[in-house]
Chains A and B, each alone.
Chain A
């Protein structure tokens, strides 16, 4: 029987994502890819996968699924969550684990991720990855383009996600320590491409104001609430291409930071663009988060990108083996075998 994960509850907006679909934007195909590529990478490293393998991306409320493989290794990274490993679908309580670690699960076990805290996105990688054909070189789900990932859509109850491996490799489990996923004080941006559609006052206001992430945000863009930005000559431009991180300002003056699933082209002026080093943190921002922007230059942004890449390369060095004895002890406690409480109550 083909090893799979069987989705019991899909969560709010759960998709398969990798690094995205590069090279086809000229055909109208969105880039897509993980909102938070740092956590995608961390989850994959913990699971023993290539850094940008396709993983499950959960937003706000994660999925519940049953393991229908003899044995598998899964790993979580991203927002906080009280992840529960249940012995079966009928179990009420199970072992609790936190993100930033790998764990081995066995046939029949149910994994319940639940609500995310202090962040919008959580990634779950599985050793060996999902057995899914890439479309245009990527397994990212493009919901607008209805392609890639699992049937070009968000996961639904009873989906059977095919796995590439039937068994986990015999090895210890790991966690990642000391990876800072907190948002920057100010998100750095480069002005443009259409900053000339805004007055000096509007641009000063943009950098002086605090914005709140609105509930209408999604994988296409973070909608921000704050003081409206005045256009100096209209809010329609001849449609041009959109870069991920560009901040477009429609007629109402409330900015939208364009994220992974943004459409390839659009007709609103873009006041500034969040630099590549700060974009993954943008992808972690939950609804209600308060943020500010700061101006920087293209040269500064390139230096920040180099530093960001160094952080990514330091990830394997942050992996700490979870002592097998501690792991077993934790499982035994969970089973009430060495706690003494079990005997006392019996």
Chain B
């Protein structure tokens, strides 16, 4: 039996919460519920937003009153069963050179590791994409090795360049657009994660990502192809996962 609660977020949104922790299994349930509500095409549901451990459902209460929506959600949750999620595995180039990695030295100091060890440990993981949020196409990828996990910097920066790769608590994020940022910048990814023209995100929740360290030269070559619009980036494989 799935444990969950439904919380109001005003009169046009509610939150279906499956727990209060970051857990790939909870994330899989959230994504399954989002998919099943989409498949049902329930009149009155405007959109859904999956996050780590909850699903927000935006609705029109004058078409679908909250009580009826909650009934529909209960029904869909009862029907959720074990299935296989097929996601994609991406290898994303990242340049960890100090030119981009403005906080790498500082991160090494804070974690009592060498710069090289930080890069090795950060790029050794196969990260899980939990959700997209904050900026268009921005993926929350986790979890970074526990010795690399860091809280916010004391003073946020007013601007970091697009592509900046950060350690954000137990998460790692690539910021697809220039933005203010309070996290630790340890590199830059030249692959655009948000396509402004097509308005599409490269990564999707449940995808897997490995960061591949590249030189400045390789970074610039990929960045140049991206700028010309001729960069083709494909997943390296599919990823099959059984969800209980």
Residues on A lying within 8 angstroms of B by beta carbon are 22-29, 135-136, 144-147, 189-194, 237-241, 243-246, 263-266, 270, 273-276, 298-299, 301-302, 304-306, 309
Task: Say whether A264 contacts B49, CB under 8 Å.
Answer: yes
Q: What residues of chain B lie closer than 8 Å to A27, measured between beta carbons? A: 132, 136-137, 200-201
A23's contact among B10, B46, B66, B177, by CB below 8 Å, is which?
B46
Interface size on B, residues (CB 8 A): 47
User: Given A27-B136, A136-B199, A243-B13, do A302 and B66 touch, yes or no (CB 8 Å)?
Assistant: yes
Q: Tell me the B residues contacting A by CB distance below 8 Å.
A: 7-15, 17, 20-22, 34, 46-56, 58, 61-62, 65-66, 131-138, 140, 177-179, 194, 196, 199-201
Among the listed A25, A28, A244, which residue makes an inter-chain contact with B47, where contact means beta carbons less than 8 Å apart? A25
Say how far A191's CB is from chain B's closest CB, in angstroms.
Answer: 7
Task: State whether A147 and B62 are in contact (beta carbons under 8 Å apart), knowing that A28-B134, A243-B12 are contacts in the complex.
Answer: no
Interface residues of A, dominant DSSP: mixed
User: Are B135 and A246 in contact (CB-based, < 8 A)?
Assistant: no
Please measure, in the bound complex, the distance between the C-alpha atom of A135 and the C-alpha atom of B199, giving whole angstroms. Answer: 8
> 18 A–B contact pairs at CB < 8 A?
A24-B136, A28-B132, A29-B199, A144-B135, A191-B8, A193-B9, A238-B52, A239-B51, A239-B52, A240-B15, A240-B17, A241-B13, A241-B133, A246-B9, A264-B49, A298-B11, A304-B11, A306-B62
* Bound Cα distance A131, B83 (Å): 47
Q: Are B56 and A240 in contact (CB-based, < 8 A)?
A: yes
Known interface pairs A28-B201, A301-B10, A302-B66; A265-B133 also in contact (CB < 8 Å)? yes
In the bound assembly, the distance between CA atoms of A43 and B138 in angstroms comes to 35
* A305 and B62 within 8 A (CB): yes
Contact of A263 among B55, B62, B134 (CB under 8 A): B134
Contact, CB under 8 Å: B47 / A23 = yes
- Cα of A145 to Cα of B14 in the assembled complex, Å: 25
A263 close to B53 (CB less than 8 A): no
| Residues of B close to A239: CB separation below 8 A | 51-52, 131, 133, 140
